[in-house]
Structure 1
Amino acid sequence: MGRSKPLALARIFTLAASVAAPGLVHAADLLPPPPMPLPPPPVEIGGSWYLRGDVGVGILDLRKTVVEDVSTPRVPYKYTAIEDHVGDQAFVGVGVGYQYNPWLRFDVTGEYRTQAEWRFLAEDRSYDTRGGYNLTTGKFSSVVGLANGYVDLGNWYGITPFVGAGVGFAHHMFGGVTDQGQGTYAGGLGYGRAKDNTNFAWAAHAGLSYAVTPNLKLELAYRYLNMGEAETGVVGCLPSCALKTVYRAKELESHDIKLGMRWMFGAPVVTAAYEPPPPPMPMAPLVRKY
């Protein structure tokens, strides 16, 4: 009788363990699967460099044309300006830049600007006479180089407003200058040789850019461009005379409207496609038979 009690207890414990085992297995099945590893981060190729291209039109203006007599001996030219006009230019440009951070970027640009018509009509008062006029005309084209900085002012649905400024040079190529006498000077004719001159230029920018893709951005912008002065060669009489004159178109200003594009080399490029591993298969419950 004393030996039967321990045997009975052992059988009770064995039966309890067999009943609880399937429950433990099912509880293990309810545990969440282990977290899947993260995909590799995107790889940036080329840093934040970009190429840019621009086309546009510039509406030109000038403060005034200054006329200087360079004869020997010098004869001061006294005149009253009647018409002082400069035409417009179209331009095309290219450049390279660097996106320093999400809101600050820099670039260096160069552009060619087409020929602009220049026209200056004045009454000659050098000899205290009236009714003698000189109509001087010519054309100049320009090459402009600028180093620019821009501040991007946030982003709304892919559109980013920006402002900027630039400094550089403007190289003017003046040619085709003729001087025609009118009024009491009718029949007089003068001619000026071509001349190039280079001077300081500066600009102020404002516009909008739109991200077409992570790599391609389009721009619509306004630019104020101050190109200094353009200078003619020495204008003399034909066939010859002692009078020689130089014309300087001072403070050439251009109000530019331009379309541009920027091709970014630093947009994220994802490495090989990532496929997560399959989840672990659930374990079959342990079943015991008695």
Structure 2
Amino acid sequence: MRSVKSLLAAGAASLISSMAFAADMPIAAPPPMYAPVAPPSDFGGWYLRGDVGMTNQRAKSIESGPAAALPFTTEGLGFDSSPLFDLGVGYRFNNWFRADVIGQYRGKANLHGANNLVLPGYAETNNYTGSKSEWVVMANAYVDLGTWWCITPFVGAGVGGSYNKISGFRDDGVIYGAAGVPAGVPSNSVTYFADNGKWNFAWAAHAGLAYKVNPGFTVELAYSYMNLGDAAPGNFRAFDNSASGPTSIKLKDLTSHDVKLGVRWELNSPPAYMPPLVTKG
């Protein structure tokens, strides 16, 4: 019995000693606190842009001084498709409005069309060929309409200037009933025109979809309606040098439906990953 009491007393003394030692131990420091990270701001920032695409162009009419006084009809007037390329710089003002300035080159598009005149005892056709190209400088503004699954639809408009150049223009004419020519025998002629360009006021309307690949890179698929003004070839010269002088031919109201694939690089975008801030207390 005495040995049992001795064991209980020794155990109690050991327990009290352990509790006293634990009370004397220093309290462990709390784990470091992580400060919340504010989400990257979506307001403001410069960007670069570039586009490639194809044009679908047309002209309302082709006019000349003599034809204006006679009942000519225009047939088959239009252009083949051509490539376009542009580069620009812009600024995003907030998460729904941005603007940019671009310089665009629109490649040579083959021109075709004819003016026909039919009168009693007289018929004439003028078959036109050549090509057209443009340099465009334009300021654009866009409104982003919201984002769903990283896709942002947008609309926009632009104003600027277009340098419209006509190259290799040629008029192949055929006349039936010309003075001094037997009835039913065609009289053929070919007229050449010098290359010529002119600046015009231009405007555009845009719509498209943008996909944000990462915070600094966006891909766009867009449509643009372009109004490029007028164009005219240079001075004319008959194939036999029987006549020459300034041209009276003008291509009126050039327009185009463009489809473009573009990219935007944000110049001050946040990194894709931002490590948390650590504060020591």
TM over 0.5: yes
For structure 1, which segment, 58-67 or 100-109, has the greater mean C-alpha deviation from structure 2 after superposition?
A: 58-67
Is the counterpart of residue 165 in structure 1 residue 191 in structure 2? Answer: no
> 2:52 — aligned with what?
55
Distance 1:270 1:212, change over 3 A: closer
> 1:13 — aligned with what?
none
Deviation readout 1:182-234 (Å, 9 max, x if unpaired): 35354311111111111011111111000111000000011111111111123
- Aligned ranges 1:57-72 → 2 under 5 Å: 57-69=54-66
**2:229 partner SS:** coil
Identity of aligned residues (%): 37
**1:239 partner SS:** coil
Partner Cα separation in structure 2 for residue 209 and residue 220 of structure 1: 7
Deviation readout 1:99-129 (Å, 9 max, x if unpaired): 100100000011111111112312346x865
> 1:145 — aligned with what?
137
Deviation of the 1:274 alpha carbon: 5.1
Gaps (5+ residues) in structure 2? 1-15, 177-185
Partner Cα separation in structure 1 for residue 33 and residue 272 of structure 2: 19
Distance 1:109 1:275, change over 3 A: closer
What residue identity is the alignment partner of 1:258? K
Partner Cα separation in structure 1 for residue 72 and residue 277 of structure 2: 83
What residue identity is the alignment partner of 1:50? Y
Partner Cα separation in structure 2 for residue 43 and residue 136 of structure 1: 58
Is the counterpart of residue 87 in structure 1 residue 80 in structure 2? Answer: yes
Aligned with 1:268 (options 267, 270, 279):
270
**1:246 partner SS:** coil
Distance 1:137 1:35, change over 3 A: same
Is the counterpart of residue 132 in structure 1 residue 124 in structure 2? Answer: yes
- Aligned ranges 1:1-290 → 2 under 5 Å: 33=30, 36-38=33-35, 48-69=45-66, 79-124=72-117, 129-182=121-174, 184=176, 185-242=186-243, 245-269=247-271, 273=275, 276=278
Root-mean-square deviation over aligned CA pairs: 3.5
Alignment check: 8 A CA contact 2:58 2:77 kept: no
**1:220 partner SS:** strand
Distance 1:272 1:237, change over 3 A: closer
Alignment check: 8 A CA contact 1:68 1:77 kept: no
Distance 1:109 1:277, change over 3 A: closer
Deviation of the 1:269 alpha carbon: 3.7
Alignment check: 8 A CA contact 1:43 1:269 kept: no
Alignment check: 8 A CA contact 1:55 1:258 kept: yes
Partner Cα separation in structure 1 for residue 205 and residue 76 of structure 2: 29
What residue identity is the alignment partner of 2:147? N
What residue identity is the alignment partner of 2:188? G
Alignment check: 8 A CA contact 1:79 1:122 kept: yes
Partner Cα separation in structure 2 for residue 129 and residue 241 of structure 1: 25
**1:212 partner SS:** strand
> 1:287 — aligned with what?
none
Deviation of the 1:33 alpha carbon: 4.1
Deviation of the 1:80 alpha carbon: 2.9
Distance 1:33 1:114, change over 3 A: same
**1:172 partner SS:** strand
Partner Cα separation in structure 2 for residue 192 and residue 270 of structure 1: 57
Alignment check: 8 A CA contact 1:180 1:186 kept: no
The alignment covers a number of residue pairs equal to 251
**2:214 partner SS:** coil
What residue identity is the alignment partner of 2:254? L
Deviation of the 1:276 alpha carbon: 4.1
Distance 1:272 1:180, change over 3 A: closer
